[in-house]
């Protein structure tokens, strides 16, 4: 068995281009972040998030997760991640998967963790691909599937996920030669431009602000 601990993730706000009527409010929130005024950023982004602005929803999740500008609250962080994740936003999908994996703000549920990791992995998120590979390899709520696990580990390694290559090598030591070959077929034959072809970092060239 390959052991995994869901890694804590850097909290990163996405400060990218917003569109339409919501643009000014989003930019004002971004300006507040530049000043270190997280409370004002929250006030600007909350109504946008309520209106369905997916990056604002993700950012509220990040603020609640880190306790910046608001009281730290994993339950509300998970709520806002879910709002963005349900709109196919990979960063939120991955973070929600981590929260289910660890039982932070939600009841620990490995089935839900795998579900959200899979959504993010299929959207090209390499850390989700890495987590998913180990969970499939070890077996989660099902029999272990070493071939599927190694496949996702190879995809993650190709996309630069930390520790993915060394983990893949450790996995292969536990596999038969035909299993290794089968696991390599899909990543090698993946069409150019497919979802795992590049590490996903967010929507069109956002400026990413890390804190906490």
Looking at residue 11, what is its pLDDT? Answer: 54
pLDDT for 3 beyond 80: no
Does pLDDT of 47 surpass 50?
yes
Cα angle value 153/182/116 (rounded, 5°)? 35
Q: Which two structure tokens, joined as six digits, stand for 212?
A: 């906490």
Residue 196 in contact with residue 133, Cβ under 8 Å?
no
Which of 129, 135, 170 shows the shortest CA–CA distance to 152?
129
Cβ atoms of residues 57 and 29 within 8 Å? no
pLDDT tens digits along 159-176: 888 888 888 888 889 988
Q: What is the pLDDT of residues 53-103, one digit of tens each?
A: 999 999 999 999 999 999 999 999 999 999 999 999 999 999 999 999 999
Q: What is the pLDDT of residue 209?
A: 43
Confidence of residue 16 (pLDDT cuts 50, 70, 90): low
List, for residues 189-210, the tens digit of each pLDDT value: 554 444 444 333 333 333 444 4
| pLDDT value for 185 | 79
pLDDT at residue 212, rounded to an integer: 36
């Amino acid at each position: 068995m390959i052991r995994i601990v869901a890694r804590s993730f850097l909290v990163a706000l996405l400060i990218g281009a917003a569109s339409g009527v919501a643009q000014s409010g989003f930019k004002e929130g971004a300006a507040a972040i530049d000043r270190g005024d997280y409370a004002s950023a929250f006030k600007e982004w909350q109504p946008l998030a309520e209106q369905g602005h997916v990056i604002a929803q993700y950012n509220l999740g990040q603020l609640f997760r880190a306790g910046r500008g608001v009281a730290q609250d994993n339950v509300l962080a998970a709520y806002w991640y879910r709002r963005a994740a349900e709109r196919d936003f990979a960063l939120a999908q991955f973070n929600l998967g981590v929260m289910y994996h660890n039982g932070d703000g939600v009841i620990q549920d490995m089935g839900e963790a795998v579900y959200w990791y899979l959504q993010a992995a299929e959207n090209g998120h390499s850390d989700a691909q890495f987590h998913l590979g180990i969970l499939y390899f070890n077996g989660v709520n099902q029999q272990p599937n070493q071939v599927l696990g190694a496949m996702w580990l190879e995809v993650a390694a190709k996309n630069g996920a930390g520790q993915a290559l060394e983990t893949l090598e450790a996995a292969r030591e536990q596999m038969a030669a035909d299993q290794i070959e089968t696991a390599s077929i899909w990543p090698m034959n993946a069409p150019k431009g497919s979802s795992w072809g590049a590490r996903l970092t967010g929507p069109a060239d956002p400026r990413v602000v890390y804190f906490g």
